[in-house]
Structure 1
Amino acid sequence: MKLGVFTVLFGQKPLEEALDYIASKGLEAVEIGTGGYPGNAHCNPDVLLADESKLKAFKQAVQSRGLTISALSCHANPLHPQKAISQADQSLILKTIDLAQKLEVPVINTFSGCPGDSDDAKYPNWPVAPWPPDFQEILDWQWANKVIPYWTETGKYASDRSIKIGLELHGGFSVHTPATLLRLREAAGEAIGANLDPSHMWWQGIDPVQAVQILGRAGAIHHFHAKDTTIDPINVNRYGITDMQPYTNMLDRAWQFRTVGYGHDLKTWADIISALRLVGYDYVVSIEHEDGLMSVDEGFTKAVQNLQQILIKEPLGEMWWA
């Protein structure tokens, strides 16, 4: 496995400066945003696809520092009921796939998106209960008319270019659990897989080790984010896991994102890393830093230090004792 980082947290730095800093920490890979929620501070697909010399310089900037690009990330909502939003996000995803092909990056990461409750809707509608029956009817309509058709077509576009799509299992979107990911993968093809982030498993009450096992046995883990979560034992009883308070209300929230090792101990993280190796995932562990209690530098540095202790890096050898 290789240790990497989602470079969006260094978006205020020029690309070369950010890459120098990342390389100085001993990392081997970078995940770079191309637009959508992560922004495109370091990688604008329109610019790079239109200018071969700029594309070459971009690739050289990464490679000259001994780094590889693990994924291009364009987290967005391509199923948004407002066409101006969905069409822009769909275009971004296709451009990111095209750019990944040119850069020989095997994976792009994004969200599945979430439609509205009808063709006349203005806002996404995320059903989270099977009753009253309206919610189940909305869910069935969304999957049959929006989720499966869009991702079947986009999955084929990616597959034709030898690119895999890592969907982040994130609350608020149609694909947010191992089961919903596997449902879409079965319908839309094996180009669809997970960008698995344990932080979103924990707050939904899902054990990340079991999520790795479930998805890994199906060969459905395309990329992996390293981010932690802590659940407040008092606040969760007041607000529940679907706490709608802003992330900035850290003292009162039911749960919050933390850097690796500050929500769960390193034994738990070692179990996750071991589960990844067990199911055959030997790609990049990409740090995502969204810890509201730590600066960018401190949160990132602590994540690096903690993960370097437990990452399994060497190739498997023979079981000499068996």
Structure 2
Amino acid sequence: MKLGVFTVLFGQKSLEEALDFIASKGLEAVEIGTGGYPGNAHCNPDVLLGDESKLKAFKQAVQSRGLTISALSCHANPLHPQKTISQADQSLILKTIDLAQKLEVPVINTFSGCPGDSDDAKYPNWPVAPWPPDFQEILDWQWTNKVIPYWTETGKYASDRGIKIGLELHGGFSVHTPATLLRLREAAGEAIGANLDPSHMWWQGIDPVQAVQILGRAGAIHHFHAKDTTIDPINVNRYGVTDMQPYTNMLDRAWQFRTVGYGHDLKTWADIISALRLVGYDYVVSIEHEDGLMSVEEGFTKAVQNLQQILIKEPLGEMWWV
């Protein structure tokens, strides 16, 4: 496995400054945003796809520092019911796939998106209960008419270009659990897989080790984020895990994102890393920093220090003892 980082947290630095800092910490890979929610501070697909010299310089900036690009990330909502939003996000995803092909990056990461409740809807509608039956009707309509058709077509576009799509399992979107990811993968093809982030499993009540097992046995983990979550035992009983308070209201929230090791101990993280190796995932573990209690540099540095202790880096050897 290689240790990497999602460079969006260094968006205020130039690409070269960010890469220098990342390399100085001993990392081997970077995940770079191309637009959507992560922004494109370091990587604008329109610019790079339109200018071979700039594309070459971009590749050289990464490679000259001994780094590889683990994924291009364009987290967005390509199923948004407002056409101006969904069409822009769909175009971004296709451009990111094209850029990944040119850069020889095997994975792009994004969200599945979430449609509305009809073609006339204005906002996404995320059903989270099977009753009253209206919710089931909405869910069936979304998957039949929006989720499966779009991702079947986009998955083929990616597959034809040798690219895999890592969908981040995230609340608020149609694909948010191992089951919903596998449902879409079965319908839309094996180009579709997970960008698995344990932090979103914990707050939904899912054990990330079991999520790794479920998805890994199906060969459905394309990329992996390293981010932690802490659950407040008092606040969760007041607000539940679907707490709608702003992330900035940290004292009262039911849960909040933390840097690796500050929500769960390193034994838990070692179990996750071991589960990844067990199911055959030996790709990049990409740090994502969204810890409101730490500065970017401190949170990132602590995540690096903690993960370096437990990451399994060397290739598997023979079992000499059997």
How far apart are residue 182 of structure 1 and its match?
Answer: 0.1
How far apart are residue 270 of structure 1 and its match?
Answer: 0.0
Distance 2:45 2:202 in 1: 33
How far apart are residue 47 of structure 1 and its match?
Answer: 0.1
Distance 2:266 2:155 in 1: 36
Deviations 1:172-205 (A, max 9, x none): 0000000000000000000000000000000000
How far apart are residue 113 of structure 1 and its match?
Answer: 0.1
Distance 1:11 1:284 in 2: 21
| Equivalent residue number for residue 281 of structure 2 | 281
| Equivalent residue number for residue 295 of structure 2 | 295
Deviations 1:258-285 (A, max 9, x none): 0000000000000000000000000000
| Equivalent residue number for residue 157 of structure 1 | 157
| Equivalent residue number for residue 115 of structure 1 | 115
Distance 2:201 2:81 in 1: 26
Distance 1:45 1:318 in 2: 43
Deviations 1:115-162 (A, max 9, x none): 000000000000000000000000000000000000000000000000
- Cα RMSD between the aligned structures? 0.1
Distance 2:74 2:98 in 1: 13
Deviations 1:85-140 (A, max 9, x none): 00000000000000000000000000000000000000000000000000000000
Q: Secondary structure in 2 aligned to 1:39?
A: coil
| Equivalent residue number for residue 78 of structure 1 | 78
How far apart are residue 165 of structure 1 and its match?
Answer: 0.1
How far apart are residue 225 of structure 1 and its match?
Answer: 0.0
Output the TM-score relative to the length of structure 2.
1.00
How far apart are residue 8 of structure 1 and its match?
Answer: 0.1
* Structure 1: gaps spanning 5 or more residues: none
Distance 2:313 2:234 in 1: 39
Deviations 1:298-318 (A, max 9, x none): 000000000000000000000
Distance 1:54 1:321 in 2: 52
Distance 1:189 1:165 in 2: 10
Q: Secondary structure in 2 aligned to 1:36?
A: coil
How far apart are residue 58 of structure 1 and its match?
Answer: 0.1
Q: Secondary structure in 2 aligned to 1:286?
A: strand
After TM superposition, the structure 1 = structure 2 runs for residues 1-322 of structure 1, keeping only pairs within 5 Å, are: 1-322=1-322
Distance 2:184 2:165 in 1: 12
Q: Secondary structure in 2 aligned to 1:119?
A: coil
* Structure 2: gaps spanning 5 or more residues: none
Deviations 1:16-37 (A, max 9, x none): 0000000000000000000000
How far apart are residue 206 of structure 1 and its match?
Answer: 0.1
How far apart are residue 12 of structure 1 and its match?
Answer: 0.2
How far apart are residue 255 of structure 1 and its match?
Answer: 0.1
Distance 2:111 2:72 in 1: 13
Distance 1:236 1:186 in 2: 34
Q: Secondary structure in 1 aligned to 2:304?
A: helix
Percent identity of equivalent pairs: 97
Distance 2:254 2:210 in 1: 23
Q: Secondary structure in 2 aligned to 1:187?
A: helix
How far apart are residue 294 of structure 1 and its match?
Answer: 0.1
Deviations 1:212-238 (A, max 9, x none): 000000000000000000000000000
Distance 2:315 2:2 in 1: 11
How far apart are residue 52 of structure 1 and its match?
Answer: 0.1
Q: Secondary structure in 1 aligned to 2:273?
A: helix
